[in-house]
Chains A and B, each alone.
Chain A
């Protein structure tokens, strides 16, 4: 009992450490908000005078704009193709999610529930594929997707690539989770005359909701956030995804930090919301397999 009291002896200290860490974590994000709402294209929160005092310097660090304005947001949405790019990203990410979840769930179920020749090799090959350097794949991917499959500048080209690239990690994660679902449930269902398909869709998938949510989240993020392959496969400006478009603002010759910040916020909001929504599943979905298996 004395230990129990000792556990709670320093909540203040814990809070101080946590608050300090949290502030450091979110400061860059607050800074982006500041620039986005400043209405200017500059990087600086406030310009330092010739001979700055400490107060001036503190002002330049405080994440709050001198003047609040929505100009950057309006500019980004109206002046550029930004809304089209967002639309492209949304289509690509949503279809990637659907396809990615389908591919990963079916494969993970087989790897978890069946014993078959090639099972170990298949799983190992998935693991090893995580080590493939992206740079090695890009030239061949371009040849396959654009020249052979003729899917350059199309949504499907990107969707197929993203959904496939996400498979290995998702399969490993899902397999770990499926392994923790007791096999007796299925056996009794088989006794009742249910087919594999019914078991898979009616029993396993609902039980694996946390892991599937996390799979969906990762597939969505893979489609929403990627920009290298997207810039490789999408050559027409109308077909850019949001990340490719965003790089325009702070590329080698442009420094429209205000537009970039506003654009970043617009791009990040959907995925952050999704992340927060899925958060409750994140811990169990990610680690259930490795803990119990």
Chain B
């Protein structure tokens, strides 16, 4: 029986597309569920901790004489809640550990007691929580966590929340920390839908086309391809819909179960808190609002009412985990369809044939290519994506799509023409402006490459003399700046330019000149950079030129001399043209390197004074690692890349044109 290539291709496409998207989808679904569980467990710990913090608040706010340490209270709390493994209550004033059942703490002495020096971490945590509460209150916009904690390696959870006294209800008095083994559990999502999605559409299509092929005979092969593709796409979409819905419903059901468990837990906690208040004679009334089920900024999550009733509608509507999973499924579907089309229309077959035909070459390039893809090209693409967001230090957790900013970073960089600022004293350049930095960078590159090439060429010409004595010594010494690590030389030069002690100012003193504060004016600061970089970069050019010079045959000079050419003419018409094929790539490389020369500027002048000598790359670094504006810095870097790319294309065009002219 003859099975057409077309059917095999499409079946294979269905299989591969289905399989890959199913595995990816499963991975996303599992991740979403895990995220949900982690979130719910954190809420379990938070409810327990917040309730206890309320009791501690009431207990600590009592009048002086019958005040007691909360040791008994935490014992009670731990007895009532089997999930709690250890509790710790600390007070910042006096750095006291009021009560604790952590074994580490008990080893250091029975509470209540003062914190030991070795327990500084506990005190620091209290300070941090207090600072975070203050910051959030002052800014009116919560961004620092007021509930701290996370999962430990053994699956337990630690949660710390601040507690307050009645006297100063705004200022955190200390914190309550719990270690608990969360009771909320989950199972891994079912695996069967993965196999269903991977196999069913492919099998259906395969046998369906076999049966149909016997019954119906289509005349035009073209229409066969298209009709089978359409059928396959429809089959795949049905499979994907079923698959995605299964997991989304599963996640929804788990979510509801989590909420119900939390609500029960909330009610139980409420009961025991009431009992605790009664047992310890605390002046404490549980309010008619949910105060305990809170997010990390201690803002109530309005899923549970004060008496533990569940608002399911609110819970599902706000469920960002499910939204994100849905989006991930959509991306998977696109991938699956793309794979199907790629296979079905024969692209995969052609690709496969190419790979097989040239397998030797690909095997040799594969290791390098994988490395480049993972550690160069992927970070690059990720960086470009970052440039369209406004990611900063404070929102690194968020997915990039949530902080998408479009072109606004680029507009802010390129569209800012405030190059000149006027003050009362007159006008000055705005050194923060992109175009100023660009101007400095271009000047920096042009001057440096010119110096590097001319010094390198002159030295190479001097050294390229067969009869020169001590040639190897000169070359060995002149090459030293290249060999010494550049951060070392940069820092050395920083010392050389030191105003008081640097040898350069001493030398000026010998010549009867005043010492110069090198980094205090734009021009002298620029000079230091040029000096250092010139010193660093001429050896490379010298070696390149030497290589080029050595390859020029002596016969050419001989012939030129016979024709009566003088030395300048020999240089102009023999040396320079012969050096060109070596020099041009070296110059391109050196322009790119100098343009992105980070060490010298960053370590020597640091862009002083006032950021005027910053070049683009150091500016981008400062934006990212001093201002923590990752997105903006990425846009800055992308602009740098575009400039270099345009230069590269332009330079290649020009040198090609020159070649074809000559």
A interface residues, Cβ below 8 angstroms from B: 3, 7-8, 11, 14-15, 17-18, 21-22, 25-29, 31-32, 35, 42-45, 48, 52, 54, 57-58, 60-61, 102-104, 106-107, 109-111, 114-117, 119, 122, 125-141, 143-145, 160-161, 163-165, 167-169, 171, 196, 221, 224-225, 227-228, 243, 246-247, 250, 257, 260-261, 264, 267-268, 271-272, 275-276, 279, 282-284, 286-288, 290-292
Contact = CB atoms under 8 A, between A and B. Distances in A.
B624 A138 contact: yes
A11 to B, nearest CB: 7
B382 A143 contact: yes
Most-contacted residue by chain B among A8, A104, A116 (CB, 10 A): A116
Nearest to B561: A3
Given A160-B375, A275-B479, A268 B547 contact: no
30 contacts: A3-B561, A18-B474, A25-B480, A29-B492, A31-B495, A32-B492, A58-B510, A103-B371, A107-B364, A129-B380, A130-B593, A131-B592, A131-B644, A131-B648, A136-B384, A136-B638, A140-B379, A141-B375, A164-B372, A165-B375, A168-B372, A196-B360, A228-B598, A243-B487, A272-B483, A279-B476, A283-B543, A287-B544, A290-B585, A291-B551
Nearest to A62: B503
Contact of B648 (A25, A128, A164): A128
B354 A117 contact: yes
| Secondary structure type dominating chain B contacts | helix
Given A21-B459, A28-B492, A129 B377 contact: yes
B375 A131 contact: no
Interface size class of B (residues with CB under 8 A): 35 or more
A184 B564 CA distance: 41
B550 A14 contact: no
Contact of A132 (B362, B487, B543, B641): B641
Nearest to A102: B367
Contacts, number: 270
B488 interface: yes
B621 A17 contact: no
A131 B641 contact: yes
Most B CB atoms within 10 A — which of A106, A119, A224?
A106
Interface string B350-375: 00001000101110110111011011
A62 to B, nearest CB: 9
Given A15-B470, A136-B620, 10 more contacts: A3-B561, A7-B465, A26-B480, A129-B372, A135-B617, A135-B620, A136-B387, A144-B382, A291-B547, A291-B582
Nearest to B503: A61
A164 B375 contact: yes
B368 A133 contact: no
B33 interface: no
Give the 5 A-B residue pairs with the shortest CB-CB distance, closest first: A287-B547, A136-B637, A110-B364, A114-B361, A107-B368
A283 B546 contact: yes
Nearest to A104: B368
Contacts of B483: 268, 271-272, 275-276
Contacts of B228: none
A165 to B, nearest CB: 7
A31 B503 contact: yes
Interface in B484-524: 484-489, 491-496, 498, 500-503, 506-507, 509-510
A122 B478 CA distance: 36
Contacts of A260: 491
Contacts of B637: 133, 135-136
B40 interface: no
A140 B378 contact: yes
A140 B638 CA distance: 14
Contact of B367 (A106, A257, A264): A106
Nearest to A119: B361
A44 B503 CA distance: 8
Contacts of A161: 375
Interface string B370-414: 011011111110111011000000000000000000000000000
B498 A268 contact: no
Given A14-B462, A283-B543, A31 B496 contact: yes
B581 interface: yes
A167 B551 contact: no
Contact of A130 (B476, B495, B581, B592): B592
Contacts of B482: 275
Contacts of B638: 136
A76 B631 CA distance: 40
B75 to A, nearest CB: 39
Interface in B142-177: none
Given A25-B481, A283-B546, A139 B383 contact: yes
B485 A225 contact: yes
Contacts of B509: 52, 57
Contacts of A117: 354, 358
A171 B368 contact: yes
Contacts of B362: 110, 116
A283 B463 CA distance: 13
B596 interface: yes
A31 B621 CA distance: 31
Nearest to A6: B567
B633 interface: yes
A261 B386 CA distance: 40
Contacts of A44: 500-501
Contacts of B185: none
A284 B620 contact: no
A227 B490 CA distance: 13
B468 to A, nearest CB: 7
Contacts of B543: 282-283, 286-287
B640 interface: yes
B364 A43 contact: no
Given A61-B507, A133-B617, A227 B487 contact: yes
Most buried by A among B481, B506, B548: B506
Interface string B627-641: 000100110111011
B455 to A, nearest CB: 8
Nearest to A106: B364
A279 B486 CA distance: 18
B535 interface: yes
B226 to A, nearest CB: 28
Contacts of A11: 467-469
A132 B387 CA distance: 14
B84 to A, nearest CB: 31
Contacts of B550: 283
Contacts of B364: 106-107, 109-110, 114
Contacts of A115: 361
B592 A136 contact: no
A262 to B, nearest CB: 12
B477 interface: yes
B298 interface: no
A287 B582 contact: yes
A211 B501 CA distance: 43
